[in-house]
């Protein structure tokens, strides 16, 4: 089961977390009297982590409570994200939460969503 800062915000339905790679920030500049370019390393970019899934609830109040709790977590200080495989990603900030339209799934209500996190200072 995944969690953010110890909170099970997305456990009501299925979800997946995809962890992206990192890049090197750099500056390229010409070196007079030398062949090629000089590259200066400026640190690493944040790692982008994408989560997608479906929130499920028995009624509108339960779904609203879940959506409100997730929106409250937007912009919180960096925290630990545990993915669906139990791997911990430290220094993660939730940057974007994009819910879709509410729909009926059997007897329950569901909302598909996408979350974007950034892993900073790691």
| Tens of pLDDT, residues 75-112 | 899 999 999 999 999 999 999 999 999 999 999 999 99
| 122 pLDDT tier (thresholds 50, 70, 90) | low
The rounded Cα 66 to chain-centroid distance in angstroms is 17
At a CB cut-off of 8 Å and minimum separation 6, what does 100 contact?
A: 111, 112, 113
For residue 40 the two structure tokens come to 């200066």
- H helices present in the chain, as ranges: 60-73
Check pLDDT > 90 for residue 50. yes
* CATH 2.40.30.200, applies to 3-119: yes
Question: Taking the domains of the chain in order of start, what are their residue ranges?
Answer: 3-119
Burial classification of residue 23, based on how many CB atoms lie within 10 Å of its CB (0-12 exposed, 13-18 middle, 19 or more buried):
exposed
């Amino acid at each position: 089961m995944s969690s953010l800062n110890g909170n099970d915000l997305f456990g009501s339905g299925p979800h997946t977390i995809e962890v992206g790679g990192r890049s090197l920030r750099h500056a390229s500049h010409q070196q007079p009297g030398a062949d090629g370019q000089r590259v200066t390393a400026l640190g690493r970019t944040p790692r982008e982590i994408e989560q997608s899934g479906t929130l499920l609830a028995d009624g509108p109040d339960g779904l609203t409570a879940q959506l409100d709790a997730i929106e409250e977590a937007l912009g919180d200080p960096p925290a630990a994200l545990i993915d669906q495989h139990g791997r911990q990603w430290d220094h993660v900030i939730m940057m974007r939460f994009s819910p879709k339209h509410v729909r009926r799934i059997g007897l329950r209500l569901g909302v598909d969503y996408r979350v974007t996190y950034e892993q900073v200072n790691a």
